[in-house]
Structure 1
């Protein structure tokens, strides 16, 4: 292929990929949130910052701010991405961070007003924290706030309660708890009022308020309900803040399972039980220790693990920094041999035992390699574009001799410091399954034999680049030949 044509193809391929690929690259221009790509399974202070931002905008509950990026956070990010027309992958990349941090609702700087008279902080939809909790308690005490629990988040129910109070007091019914409203509510001029003592009731406390969510209810409270039901496995749809037929059916299923009256209406009792069960489930699903090494872990600690297992004879493959299926099998073999729990996860107990056995051997394992450059999807796709037109050669794995299908993938990923197995079937086994391919993932097909026998790199816009019978080329995955043979996509980095 002529150089001019190659450059044109490269430009075309990179332009089709950049929109997806850029999401995967960490941002260096942001402050704390945005320094790295955040995704499912991570535990980090940046995750907690992300969760606070999502809470502030009504996509998460306060109980979800844990610092662990689990299914609840992933779903919240997907909902945010959907509402802001960003690629819906549940991964917090540069574009998602930018959209979250540019949203209004960030706490304003402290007032520089020289007015002697102290003022209350204005609270409105999206506000959250101790001030909101205090507001909700007071409104609940006066029977305006009817949600069964104090959330600390200013959503639609809180706004409606404030509006009802304002109407009752014949002041502007905006639903915003401004200084005037709070002064009247708390009957004090202090900006930080002392917590009022609980009044002694003149008569027995009435039953819990009859707050309910039913068909056609909308708002953040419906989002919380859907989120809890989803965590419990009763709701498998979009968290759209709308109490529709699907939400009603899910509520009925929950009520039936927990022997409650099956009405489809989320009354106070149903909401309380759902919330309690969701919290219990969240506590049971504790995040894995960050020290554990498991399938798809990468880096120098994996290299050290593989080296140690190699010394002990449990790992006979290349030491490559990647915790793939072969490493998992080796860990299981070690655990079985030493009467440990056979999980395939190198937890602290397993690692300590491995190191102790290596020390007995008296053999010094290989040291971890120096940290490699971070994986770059754009460079992966760009390198692939440079090779368009390279001839197909059975067993080929270099530019000079040409490439076969797997040789092409091994060559490109090696340039990104990722060592792939040599056959398509082994690459399939080593990859992490994804529901929809994104730029840089490998798409697999069943062609001349049963099981995965051909693969290419997905570059966006329904295109993938691969080495087939006509050499390295870009193909449309929507063509009937490929759709009929498509097996799925996997992530290998």
Structure 2
């Protein structure tokens, strides 16, 4: 009788364990006690952002994972509760991908092809990164499927580039996409018609903006340092210069200089600069990410993502400009 009771209790505890199947990271809320492959992906993503220090992804959401989620949430400027839900996944750049919408850019053939939309580099996040990872996995270059372009994905890209006999830089651009798809990297730009040239220009512009944002996100957590211009320490304008300069765009060094040089816009778009009057005149700035968020180097936070609806930032907001 005792054995029967224990069996029932054990079975009940297994059914009660928070777990789900056939889901992609972002399709379900993950919290302490969950054991699932999605937790491994979450741990991979948190490791790539520097918030999960354990070398092995266990797939179990314990105290260490909960603290890593809390640390990430705090650095991203979102609600800190230690639970990986929609807000946390958005901050990670991850969205559920179990629906058929994923086939919009990656085919479901034995070897996926991938459409070139923007240059992807370390720090990038989102569905495009996940699609790149899937394509690399299918070709034997495991980069995970976290949707976060961290060191593991960068190494996978480098290994693939080396095997394909193309430039090895760990950045996924037109040449890498061409090699993945088995086409020439220059085939999409060989046409000399004006429409083709226009499309290339738009793509390059978009890639530049996303590259700037990816570079900016890659140094989240860097400390604040007056006059700093490197990941070892940034002031607010030094951080913006770092993100722009690393993507081939030279801008004024100071916030005041940026404000004077920028074309003012009433509704900021991704990559625009948002300015704040924390002292007299434009004295603080960040890079707008969309959805009311911006990334900046704050004196008390270092490089972090903040919400423009925060009372402090909304009260000191001066406007936005495009450089």
Q: Same fold by TM (over 0.5)?
A: no
- What TM-score do the two structures reach when normalised by structure 2? 0.41
Which protein shows a greater Rg? 1
